[in-house]
Structure 1
């Protein structure tokens, strides 16, 4: 959604980003870190460690300054490979939860249950999004520590129009309905507009399926029985059609009918960039057509419409070949540090985020339904179902119970080409 010049990554992720930079510089890890001093075993009966602090960081060695591998979800449980001593942790004790992955014990507690963790973000059954989201309807909408403070005119903060919040529930007080935010504050429910997210979804390609897809980009576009012949029907906006050939401005469709080529955004098969290792997963983003295609090597796996950055100097999505440098189950996004803009934005817990160039990334956009048109501040916006699909296809996979992962230089990683 945001250009790197206009987005603030949360402090926790900023710290992780430093670890991500160190990751490329510090491997292999300090040899001493590979043989840290063992500590006594965990308490009798402990079968796992449970994460008690959300987004607990995972390091590649049990020491201060070690490269960071990712973060963990509160409540997830992980195996105990061993306990070891090390600096950089207030308890001076670390748990190795997987080979070469260490967590400071202050983020953990020993548990009698078996290791268990859910894939993040968790989406309720039948829902499009992991949370209930809402947008502030007008400037100056106030938040309150308790609903009674509304009637005392004692507010905690004021919100800007369009700010996006996670709503954890509702409460009635004094004859009014209040929304409770994820941060535990209350807002007059009438000051919020619920966000449902688009139901648009791309096309998953099976083995041997041809990339002959196109999307209708003009509402009511005509479908003809033959070139220039009678109109058989009107096509719906973003309707998917299969294209046999394009000749003299006409596209012949798979069913033998014809449409004007100008009414279609057509996916075209692309060869992998020469720089990529053979068999890499990579994503082709065509700014002209607003089409994204996900590949494994030469094979297309998924295609959809997206919204890249607006055609302005500060909003264009950066072209070129990029490597995904972090995958996040969620990321807060804002440009509140910018005081030179007429309007700022702030959105909590944007899901399925993959940053590939600074703070430009792929992510779900639940605040608009204009996929197929340039719309963002620089990121590649996807409909929720598509963002989830691309997140799950890309490498490395986010392990169950993890909320973020930094790809290592020595493992398969997904690349993004914007052209």
Structure 2
């Protein structure tokens, strides 16, 4: 337990606050990757009575009618198998014509009409999905026993807050291999395996001489990699930064030969499975690359915090965010406790005196009546349970105005930077409230990561995708498979953050960070809905994204 909190406290700032445009990692050679792992496994099925999952169909009329008879599926063979609106490839700069509706991820499968439409632009034939859209048979297969499909990483978990397991890279220079390396390749690329091991002499002083260690690797030679342009200088990841960060960029981390790239301490990976090969333990990542397991710490969410539904939805499904049906007095106001030592207060009838009562826990959510009072120098808000919350102990929702073009009953998302809260609305009815972490602000340009204000529609949604970048003030960061991403403006998005628990405070590089539980619930609620088996979906004129309003 101590080790976990030590590593959490020592996280590089760029990883604690990461936000950037998502991107898939280039896939390695499928045949090579398939040869190093066991057959594919499916993710667990949702438990009976669990809340509706985000991979729901768009709508009853979203696509062509499924043919009668047994359901057929098409499996994705590419890391991203595109779903297009027509049996044509989109042309850059051309208005109209075929557009990308979304994509399937390698190992995913979607209901399909199993009739190929062979065209010159796809000799393997186009296949129409039951939910709408077409995929080219070059990147997908009807044969779910196809070796590349069966050896794919597991599909995202749908009965957990996170779609994948994650690992934290504990040291600079950890190589990500394209396939399991040979012993010679390991020695050449992991010089610490054969570095001299210090041993204690009888007088207690350390002795730099000793037996060479080669963890699970037999070798007789070890040449330290060349420096970064300085003759005779050690590679960047072999240098001592005395608690600082290496001055490298993502381009500097690119590898060659068996190494796809290297990592800086604090990078996160999406983990598919662990296995043993050549006497060593390895992790295969969610994009089928390979990393030595002894450099990766399995990561656990630092909090299971979540917001609350403001009506009775989810109650019958056992949703932890559901609230009991009640005749609420207030206009959907919710308070969140941020002070771990906060207490309940009792207010005198004339609102002149308060007395403290029971303890409150951090992140506790309470319904508010809208009644407020000031006693001395402190402001208080009345809860529907009858006690009063001291405003200084937390925050409370304060939604702004609805989008100008909002249709009756349409879904929209309110994000308050000042309150660090988010409220979901259906028309003028608030239905969910929670805490967020928006972008850090600073008068120093390189450190100012303010979340922009304005109104936009959700553009793209991804179950998970990589966010990385070079930040002048923080250095490089990389988080593979950031969960439940919803882009609304450029590279700004709503998404889950499993690497911190500072919700209710500014923390990010500009995105709106949510707890994983909240991010998943909101992902499943907003439009466009994600069709069965898809990994990502884009909004269209026919299926526009929900509004996101960000205000101070």
> Are residue 154 (structure 1) and residue 189 (structure 2) matched?
yes
Deviations 1:211-247 (A, max 9, x none): 1310012221232222543321232221112222112
Q: Select 1:165's aligned residue among 269, 277, 286.
A: 269
Please say if residues 211 and 269 of structure 1, whose CA atoms lie closer than 8 Å, have aligned partners that are also in contact. no
Please say if residues 63 and 87 of structure 1, whose CA atoms lie closer than 8 Å, have aligned partners that are also in contact. no
Q: Which segment is superposed worse, 350-359 or 229-238? A: 229-238
Distance 1:53 1:408, change over 3 A: same
Report the Cα distance in structure 1 between the residues aligned to 2:293 and 2:118, rounded to whole angstroms. 50
Q: Secondary structure at the match of 2:524?
A: helix
Partner residue in 2 for 1:51: 76
> Are residue 240 (structure 1) and residue 365 (structure 2) matched?
yes
TM-score by length of 2: 0.62
Partner residue in 1 for 2:538: 406
Q: Secondary structure at the match of 2:138?
A: helix
Report the Cα distance in structure 1 between the residues aligned to 2:143 and 2:273, rounded to whole angstroms. 30
Q: Equivalent residues in 2 for 1:247-266 (5 A)? A: 247-248=373-374, 249-266=379-396
Partner residue in 1 for 2:226: none
Q: Select 2:523's aligned residue among 370, 391, 397.
A: 391
TM-score by length of 1: 0.80
Partner residue in 2 for 1:84: 117
Partner residue in 2 for 1:215: 336
Report the Cα distance in structure 2 between the residues aligned to 1:108 and 1:75, rounded to whole angstroms. 10
Please say if residues 9 and 359 of structure 1, whose CA atoms lie closer than 8 Å, have aligned partners that are also in contact. no
Report the Cα distance in structure 2 between the residues aligned to 1:404 and 1:8, rounded to whole angstroms. 11
Q: Secondary structure at the match of 2:189?
A: coil
Please say if residues 396 and 407 of structure 1, whose CA atoms lie closer than 8 Å, have aligned partners that are also in contact. yes
Q: Secondary structure at the match of 2:392?
A: helix
Report the Cα distance in structure 2 between the residues aligned to 1:64 and 1:174, rounded to whole angstroms. 44
Q: Where do 5+ consecutive residues of structure 1 fail to align?
A: 13-44, 114-119
Larger radius of gyration: 2
Report the Cα distance in structure 1 between the residues aligned to 2:394 and 2:468, rounded to whole angstroms. 34
Distance 1:94 1:259, change over 3 A: closer
Q: Following TM superposition, by how much is the alpha carbon of 1:279 offset from its aligned partner in structure 2, in angstroms?
A: 2.2
Partner residue in 2 for 1:363: 495
Q: Select 1:344's aligned residue among 476, 495, 499.
A: 476
Q: Following TM superposition, by how much is the alpha carbon of 1:188 offset from its aligned partner in structure 2, in angstroms?
A: 4.1
Q: Secondary structure at the match of 1:385?
A: helix
Deviations 1:247-295 (A, max 9, x none): 2222222232223222231123555222223322110000011100011
Please say if residues 399 and 416 of structure 2, whose CA atoms lie closer than 8 Å, have aligned partners that are also in contact. no
Partner residue in 2 for 1:9: 23
Distance 1:251 1:184, change over 3 A: same
Partner residue in 1 for 2:345: 224
Q: Where do 5+ consecutive residues of structure 2 fail to align?
A: 1-16, 27-69, 91-97, 146-153, 191-258, 313-326
Distance 1:261 1:196, change over 3 A: closer
Report the Cα distance in structure 1 between the residues aligned to 2:277 and 2:469, rounded to whole angstroms. 33
Distance 1:11 1:191, change over 3 A: closer
Report the Cα distance in structure 2 between the residues aligned to 1:371 and 1:133, rounded to whole angstroms. 20
Q: Following TM superposition, by how much is the alpha carbon of 1:177 offset from its aligned partner in structure 2, in angstroms?
A: 4.8
Report the Cα distance in structure 1 between the residues aligned to 2:415 and 2:276, rounded to whole angstroms. 46
Please say if residues 466 and 479 of structure 2, whose CA atoms lie closer than 8 Å, have aligned partners that are also in contact. yes
Q: Secondary structure at the match of 1:389?
A: helix
Please say if residues 7 and 334 of structure 1, whose CA atoms lie closer than 8 Å, have aligned partners that are also in contact. yes
Report the Cα distance in structure 2 between the residues aligned to 1:390 and 1:136, rounded to whole angstroms. 29
Report the Cα distance in structure 1 between the residues aligned to 2:336 and 2:80, rounded to whole angstroms. 39
Partner residue in 2 for 1:372: 504
Higher strand share: 1
Q: Following TM superposition, by how much is the alpha carbon of 1:143 offset from its aligned partner in structure 2, in angstroms?
A: 4.0
Q: Select 1:328's aligned residue among 457, 462, 469.
A: 462
Please say if residues 72 and 114 of structure 2, whose CA atoms lie closer than 8 Å, have aligned partners that are also in contact. no
Report the Cα distance in structure 2 between the residues aligned to 1:88 and 1:272, rounded to whole angstroms. 45
Please say if residues 46 and 111 of structure 1, whose CA atoms lie closer than 8 Å, have aligned partners that are also in contact. no
Report the Cα distance in structure 1 between the residues aligned to 2:512 and 2:102, rounded to whole angstroms. 23
